[in-house]
Amino acid sequence: MEPTPAPPRAAANHLGRAIVGIVLFWPLGIPAVANAIKVDPLSASGDHAGAARAAEAARVWSLRATIVGVVWLALSGVCVPLVASAIVDPVDTAAWVRAHL
């Protein structure tokens, strides 16, 4: 009697990562969430290859959204004070930039 093979392991849906991605940069977070919510129904229907593809796509999109969101926040943290100082006192902006950079 041959042992029955173990059922394939369910793919992780990466929904948590997708939600973080949608918070940080929603244009790239939407495909992450869309793919993440496909994983469990595909896995339950027996399409384990499709579930793995959707899980990988969710992981990639959420990673892209997280990276772009963090870079966007970092650039905003640098650019907003510079622009605000230029608006408040446009004469001394060049001197301030030379003194602080």
Please compute, for residue 49, the number of CA atoms within 13 A of its CA located in the half-sphere on the CB side. Answer: 0
Task: Output the pTM of the full model.
Answer: 0.73
pLDDT tens for each residue of 23-41: 999 999 999 999 999 999 9
Tell me, yes or no, whether 3 lies in a domain. Answer: no
Could you give the number of structural domains in the chain?
1
Q: Which domain holds residue 25?
A: 15-100
Tell me, yes or no, whether 67 lies in a domain. Answer: yes
Cα(10)–Cα(48) distance, integer angstroms: 7
Q: For residue 53, what pLDDT is reported?
A: 95
Q: How is residue 21 annotated by DSSP?
A: H
